[in-house]
Amino acid sequence: MAIVKRTAQAAQWVAAATVAAALSACAAVPAVAPTPTPADGPLPFVTLDKSTTSRIDAPRTVVVRDAQAWQRLWAEHAGADAAPPQVDFAARMVVGVFLGTRSSGCHGTEIAGIAVAGGRIRVQEIDKVPGPTVRCMMMLTAPAHLVATTRSDLPVEFATETVELK
């Protein structure tokens, strides 16, 4: 009977020690502070890359909030051997627009502005297309624009305006 009682006590001590160790391990992990919500108004941004030679051949918009996703996107966009620009994802996020493959050098895309309004981040994308009388160099292009802006967990929406070149 004494052996069973000591085994039960030992099991309780092991369980208590395991819980204590788990709790102390959690206390050692620094808490990630929630990203503060930016006030309504424009957000500053800096261009990381603006190119007509992206390897991403389908139209798309992206929001990247971590380094691993940034590495993957950059490898897809610029090639596996190209080193991506450094981004501090604790304070910034990457926003990008890709026009996809086009048939002339007259096509383009850019992020013209980023603003917070009504609990959302709005990215203003301007796509340029040749007008009917514009002569363009015939070549395959894949325009893209990637920027870094203030990090936020707010939902991001893209508003696209198409401008016809004359």
**pLDDT, tens digit, for every residue of 63-114?**
999 999 999 999 999 999 999 999 999 999 999 999 999 999 999 999 999 9
Residue 39 is predicted with a pLDDT of 83
pLDDT at 58: 98
Q: How many domains does the chain fold into? A: 2
User: Does the residue 36 lie in any domain?
Assistant: no
Provide the token pair at 132: 């009917």
Q: In this structure, is residue 161 part of a structural domain?
A: yes
Model pTM above 0.75: yes
| Residue 141: Cβ-neighbour burial (10 angstroms; 0-12, 13-18, 19+) | buried
**Are the CB atoms for 144 and 49 separated by under 8 Å?**
yes
Averaged pLDDT of the chain? 85
Terminal-residue alpha carbon distance, the chain: 96
Q: What is the span of the domain harbouring residue 156?
A: 41-165
Which tokens sit at 138? 């015939």
Q: How far apart are CA 125 and CA 158, in angstroms?
A: 7
Residues 87 and 58 in one domain: yes
In a 3-state reduction of DSSP, which class is residue 20?
Answer: helix
